[in-house]
């Protein structure tokens, strides 16, 4: 009965989203206040309906209802409760349900926190979000219904993919989807503004916190995915340039560009057309990512069960949503005026270059991801594009970006003077060079590529330092203590500094890991030992372990450094009973400056094991950097001027924000 | 205006490629086994533990090898198609009961019908390993001289059966 209720709720939600997508939009065109007023209640109703449907599917999992095909394919009676709940989004159908749930949640949030926006604008935004939801409900109900029955019921389920049975996996997809779907808000704002013809500083100001919020979730989702792959795949890699990873990374790159471009639109009234295009692109890439993952056009370790009908459906949906948006863009954009003029050497130029680099980097990732498909489609053979291409191209794009990240924030809007800027930053250059060389020396080997990466990281930190010192210097009309002045810094400004600091931390982490990591595959039996980077790994014992739904061999490995025992690691090789899949559970001893990573490979005929031991200096900085970036995003999004009643700024004519 | 149509044009080109890509299968890796003699095996029959079946017993006729298991959800999807095919009286289908328990496998056949002339019992997956099985179900077409002529990974769809397997069988039986 519960699955039927869930199915019925989904149908109801489809109906409500149709109303939400059509009537308020028509009302906004015709000036019908009653039709526009439907937008908010419809958004809330849709959210409640889909949330209840989600509860229904979760209940089927919790109750082991193997007469539901999706439950039978993704769960098992021995699966622990936490993973049964996570299994709701462990497959294609359920993750789509999660997608629409997130979309409905964002929509409801927009409905709730848009009191200060004109109703015409709100009606259009919610209608656009409603139309996107219609597409996803149809997709689910037509091709991928999570509530389909399996008659007769299976005796037991097929179990959740063992790769997904990990705490990181429980929250990785929801965070990633929050990010993906979050860009639909910026997209809906852009489309509504294109329809209404009110692309101005106020529109940019409304869009900014929503974009930052989506970006924070996406950053978290990607970082978590990387951390999960590192811990769970057992190779010790943290980024593989897999098509599905790329699919999440492309919206992130464009979203980052969008955040920066919105700043120009809000402060200077410039880049309006470009900002709109970025907002459309960010969400389009999220949709494209969904297509790539679901349609099976690319092979990937993440691939869901594929079905050509699904691929075709999403492709048609993509054409309608993105095609219509770009057509609207081509129609309305020419009438949008240009912003204020700026000199070649100005903050605007810097942000323009930033945007170019980010978008070109995204283009390079897109090209690399789809290149195998292009060649295959043209009948030119099957190839795959691997990390060497991505690493090289990406480093080429990111190096100038990081270099400018030090300069850009210190520059003035409109026009700046190169000479004085060079004077302000000369110490930062010296500090960065010395720090980069010193770090290389401390690690025992100075290589050009690492020194470059370290220099860029230190350079950003030093430039932020210069910026901070200048802003905290006593000035006329700004007395008090340093702390008093620090408290007066706008939160958005602090957020930017923190986010850039996060990038620096990330860059330093990557440079360190890439150059100084060491690994060794050794044959180990009980009481044998091996050494890397001064750490001695000693296998004490091997024992059989029974998990709830797997059997495992667990190694006990003692790690010592300079004769002192510093860690005890217990990597496992698991066989999940239902799917008969071997899984490598690595064990890691982690601190701020290095990870010691141990995973078990194959067992040899004589009972010994191949064990992979790795020493990864500074790898925690990679994810630490992501966390710092997120913190920066959160600070920026919570700046108080976004929370102020915006009636005052709404009265200003377009572009007036530029005067400030 | 034309300048603003550029994103749309680029997008449409991309869609063209994606549409073509949908018809291609990135996983359609040409199997190294196609065109090679089917690996030899000597297996116990699932239903008759006392009987053994060898590859060479099957020489001289065209047959299909279908890898299945009672734990395999996708097998249930293709199963009615196989039952229907066997009822119509096509070439013999031999099942390879892969990494399964005997009673589970037999129970599964009783429940969903048995299209197989005989099922080979492969509890530890050794035969499957020789045949390069990496996902269940898989289906092989093997000709009179014991050479593998076709391999399909994943559940057989009516289209695959009609457009690929049956024409090939007609040609092999001609």
Q: Which chain A residues contact residue B14 at CB under 8 A? A: 370
Cβ-based neighbour number of residue A527 at 10 Å: 9
| Structure confidence by residue, pLDDT tens digits, A430-448 | 999 999 999 888 888 888 8
Smallest Cβ distance to B8: which of A152, A330, A579? A330
List the single best residue of B5, B15, B18, B78 to mutate versus A (max A Cβ within 10 A): B18
Average pLDDT of the residues in B49-66? 90
Q: Which chain B residues contact residue A334 at CB under 8 A? A: 1, 4
Q: Tell me how far apart the alpha carbons of residues A24 and A38 are, in angstroms, rounded to a whole number.
A: 6
| Structure confidence by residue, pLDDT tens digits, A239-289 | 888 888 888 999 999 999 999 999 999 888 888 899 999 999 999 999 988
Give contacts of A 282-341 with B, CB under 8 A.
284, 291, 295-299, 308, 311-312, 315, 318-319, 322-323, 326-327, 329-330, 333-334
| Structure confidence by residue, pLDDT tens digits, A68-121 | 989 988 888 889 999 999 999 888 889 899 999 999 999 999 999 988 889 999
Q: Nearest CA to B138 among B47, B31, B44, B50?
A: B31
For A363, residues 6+ apart whose C-beta sits below 8 A from its C-beta are none
Torsion of CA A485, A489, A495, A501, to 10 degrees: -40
Interface of B with A (CB under 8 A): 1, 4-5, 7-8, 11-12, 14-15, 17-27, 71-73, 99, 111
Q: Nearest CA to A362 among A464, A258, A476?
A: A258
Average pLDDT of the residues in A587-598? 91
Residue A304 has pLDDT above 60, yes or no: no
Q: Kindly report the nearest CA distance between residue B17 and chain A, in angstroms.
A: 6
Smallest Cβ distance to B26: which of A298, A326, A327? A298
Which residue in chain A is spatially nearest to B125 when comparing CA positions? A580
Instruction: Concatenate the DSSP letters of all residues of A352-419 into one string.
Output: HHHHHHHHHHHHHHHHHHHHHHHHHHTTS------HHHHHHHHHHHHHHHHHHHHHGGGSPSS---HH
Exposure string for A461-488, b = 16+ CB within 10 A, e = fewer:
bbbbebbeeebbeeeeeeeeeeeebeee
Q: Kindly report the nearest CA distance between residue A326 and chain B, in angstroms.
A: 5
Half-sphere exposure for B169 (CA within 13 Å, toward CB): 20
Structure tokens at B172: 């092999």
Residue A646 has pLDDT above 70, yes or no: no
Q: Do B26 and A72 touch (CB under 8 A)?
A: no
Q: Do A374 and B71 touch (CB under 8 A)?
A: no
Cis, peptide link before residue B137, omega less than 30° from 0: yes
Q: Tell me how far apart the alpha carbons of residues A342 and A337 are, in angstroms, rounded to a whole number.
A: 15
Q: Do B8 and A373 touch (CB under 8 A)?
A: no
Q: Do B11 and A322 touch (CB under 8 A)?
A: yes
Of how many residues is chain A composed? 660
Q: How confident is the model at residue A296 (pLDDT cuts 50, 70, 90)?
A: low
Angle between helices A2-30 and A39-62 (to 10 degrees): 160
Q: Which CATH architecture has domain B31-173?
A: 3-Layer(aba) Sandwich (3.40)
**Intra-chain end-to-end CA distance of chain A, in Å:** 61
**pLDDT at position B34, please?**
82
Q: Which chain A residues contact residue B105 at CB under 8 A? A: none
For A176, residues 6+ apart whose C-beta sits below 8 A from its C-beta are A217, A218, A221, A222, A224, A225, A248
Q: Tell me how far apart the alpha carbons of residues A280 and A321 are, in angstroms, rounded to a whole number.
A: 10
Which residue in chain B is spatially nearest to A278 when comparing CA positions? B7
User: Which range, of A95-109, A130-144, A474-488, B22-36, averages the lowest pLDDT?
Assistant: B22-36
| Structure confidence by residue, pLDDT tens digits, A213-242 | 999 999 999 999 899 888 877 777 888 888
Q: Which chain B residues contact residue A278 at CB under 8 A? A: none
Q: Kindly report the nearest CA distance between residue A404 and chain B, in angstroms.
A: 27
Residue A594 has pLDDT above 60, yes or no: yes
Average pLDDT of the residues in A164-182? 86
Smallest Cβ distance to B27: which of A277, A299, A308? A299
A587: β partners: A598
Q: Do A326 and B8 touch (CB under 8 A)?
A: yes
Interface predicted TM-score (ipTM): 0.82
Smallest Cβ distance to A377: which of B11, B17, B99? B17
Smallest Cβ distance to B4: which of A69, A330, A579? A330
Q: Do B7 and A326 touch (CB under 8 A)?
A: yes
Q: Kindly report the nearest CA distance between residue A578 and chain B, in angstroms.
A: 8
Angle at A332 between CA A328 and CA A334, to 5 degrees: 130
Q: Tell me how far apart the alpha carbons of residues B69 and A148 are, in angstroms, rounded to a whole number.
A: 22
Q: How confident is the model at residue B30 (pLDDT cuts 50, 70, 90)?
A: low
Q: Tell me how far apart the alpha carbons of residues A44 and A46 are, in angstroms, rounded to a whole number.
A: 5
User: Which range, of A8-22, A249-263, A315-329, B97-111, averages the lowest pLDDT?
Assistant: B97-111
What is the share, in percent, of chain A residues with pLDDT greater than 70? 93
User: Which range, of A403-407, A412-416, A529-533, averages the lowest pLDDT?
Assistant: A412-416
Q: Do A374 and B27 touch (CB under 8 A)?
A: no
Inter-chain Cβ pairs, chain A and chain B, closer than 8 A:
80
Q: Tell me how far apart the alpha carbons of residues A657 and A204 are, in angstroms, rounded to a whole number.
A: 10
Please say whether the beta carbons of B111 and B75 come within 8 A.
no
Q: Which chain B residues contact residue A326 at CB under 8 A? A: 7-8, 11
Which residue in chain A is spatially nearest to B7 when comparing CA positions? A326
Q: Nearest CA to A249 among A389, A405, A365?
A: A365
Q: Where are the domains of chain B?
A: 31-173
Separate counts of helices (H) and strands (E) for chain B: 6, 7
List the single best residue of A150, A155, A254, A359 to mutate versus B (max B Cβ within 10 A): A155
Residue A572 has pLDDT above 80, yes or no: yes
B130 vs A25: which has the higher pLDDT: A25
State which H helix or E strand residue A611 sits in: strand A609-617
Q: Do B11 and A284 touch (CB under 8 A)?
A: yes
Q: Do A315 and B27 touch (CB under 8 A)?
A: no
A504 vs B156: which has the higher pLDDT: A504
């Amino acid at each position: 009965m519960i699955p039927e209720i869930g199915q019925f709720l989904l149908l109801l939600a489809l109906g409500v989203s149709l109303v939400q997508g059509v009537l308020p939009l028509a009302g906004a065109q015709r000036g019908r206040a009653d039709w526009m007023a439907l937008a908010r209640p419809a958004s809330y109703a849709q959210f409640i309906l889909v949330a209840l449907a989600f509860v229904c599917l979760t209940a089927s999992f919790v109750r082991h209802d193997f007469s539901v095909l999706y439950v039978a394919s993704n769960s098992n009676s021995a699966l622990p409760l936490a993973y049964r709940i996570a299994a709701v989004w462990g497959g294609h159908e359920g993750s789509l349900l999660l997608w629409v749930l997130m979309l409905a949640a964002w929509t409801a949030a927009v409905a709730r926190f848009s009191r200060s926006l004109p109703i015409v604008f709100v009606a259009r935004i919610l209608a656009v979000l409603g139309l996107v939801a219609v597409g996803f409900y149809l997709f689910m109900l037509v091709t991928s219904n999570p509530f389909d029955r399996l008659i007769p019921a299976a005796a037991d389920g097929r179990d959740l993919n063992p790769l997904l049975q990990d705490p990181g996996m429980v929250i990785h997809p929801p965070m990633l989807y929050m990010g993906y779907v979050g860009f639909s808000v910026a997209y809906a704002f852009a489309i509504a503004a294109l329809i209404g013809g009110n692309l101005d500083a106020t529109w940019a100001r409304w869009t900014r916190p929503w974009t930052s919020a989506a970006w924070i979730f996406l950053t978290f989702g990607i970082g978590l995915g990387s951390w999960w792959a590192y811990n769970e795949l057992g190779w010790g890699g943290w980024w593989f340039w897999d098509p599905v990873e790329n699919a999440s990374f492309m919206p992130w790159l464009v979203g980052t560009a969008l955040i920066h471009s919105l700043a120009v639109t809000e402060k200077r009234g410039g880049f309006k057309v470009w900002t709109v295009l970025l907002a459309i692109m960010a969400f389009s890439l999220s949709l494209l990512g969904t297509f790539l993952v679901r349609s099976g056009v690319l092979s990937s370790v993440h691939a869901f069960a594929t079905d050509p009908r699904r691929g075709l459906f999403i492709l048609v949906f993509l054409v309608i949503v993105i095609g219509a948006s770009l057509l609207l863009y081509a129609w309305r954009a020419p009438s949008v005026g240009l912003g204020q003029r700026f000199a070649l050497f100005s903050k605007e130029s810097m942000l323009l270059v930033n945007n170019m680099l980010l978008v070109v980097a995204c283009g390079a990732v897109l090209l690399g991801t789809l290149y195998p498909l292009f060649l295959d489609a043209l009948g030119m053979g099957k190839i795959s594009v691997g990390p060497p291409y991505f690493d090289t191209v990406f480093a080429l794009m990111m190096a100038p970006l990081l270099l400018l990240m030090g300069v850009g924030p210190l520059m003035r809007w409109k026009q700046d003077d190169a000479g004085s800027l060079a004077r302000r930053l000369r110490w930062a250059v010296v500090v960065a060079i010395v720090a980069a060389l010193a770090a290389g020396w401390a690690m025992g080997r100075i290589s050009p590529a690492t020194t470059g990466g370290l220099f860029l990281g230190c350079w950003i930190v030093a430039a932020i330092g210069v910026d901070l010192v200048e802003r905290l210097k006593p000035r006329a009309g700004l007395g008090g203590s340093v702390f008093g002045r620090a408290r007066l810094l706008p939160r958005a400004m602090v957020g930017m500094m923190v986010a850039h600091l996060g990038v620096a931390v990330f860059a330093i982490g990557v440079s360190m890991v890439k150059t100084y990591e060491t690994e060794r595959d050794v044959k180990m039996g009980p009481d044998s030992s091996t050494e890397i980077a001064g750490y001695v790994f000693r296998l004490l014992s091997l024992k059989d372990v029974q998990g709830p739904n797997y059997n495992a061999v667990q190694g006990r490995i003692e790690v010592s450094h300079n004769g002192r025992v510093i860690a005890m690691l217990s990597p496992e090789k698991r066989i999940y009973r239902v799917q008969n899949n071997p899984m490598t559970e690595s064990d890691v001893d982690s601190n701020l400056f290095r990870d010691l990573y141990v995973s078990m490979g194959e067992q040899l005929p004589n009972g010994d094991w191949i064990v992979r031991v790795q020493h990864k200096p500074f790898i925690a900085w990679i994810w630490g950097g992501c966390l710092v970036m997120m913190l920066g995003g959160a600070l920026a999004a919570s700046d108080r001027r976004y929370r102020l009643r915006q009636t005052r700024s709404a009265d200003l004519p377009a572009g007036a924000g530029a005067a400030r | 205006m034309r300048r603003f149509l550029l994103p749309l044009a680029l997008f449409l080109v991309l869609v063209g490629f994606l549409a073509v890509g949908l018809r291609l299968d990135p996983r359609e890796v040409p199997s190294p086994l196609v065109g090679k003699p089917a690996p030899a095996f000597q297996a116990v029959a699932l239903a008759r533990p006392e009987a053994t079946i060898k590859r060479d017993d099957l020489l001289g006729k065209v047959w299909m090898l279908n890898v299945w298991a009672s734990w395999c959800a996708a097998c249930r999807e293709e199963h009615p198609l196989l039952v229907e095919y066997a009822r119509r009286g096509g070439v013999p289908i031999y099942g390879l009961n892969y990494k399964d328990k005997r009673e589970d496998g037999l129970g599964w056949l009783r429940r969903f019908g048995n299209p197989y002339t005989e099922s080979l019992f492969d509890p530890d997956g050794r035969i499957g390993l020789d045949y390069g099985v990496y996902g269940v179900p898989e289906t092989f077409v093997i000709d009179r001289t014991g050479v593998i002529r076709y391999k399909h990974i994943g559940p057989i769809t009516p289209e695959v059966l009609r457009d690929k397997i049956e024409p090939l069988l007609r040609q092999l039986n001609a």
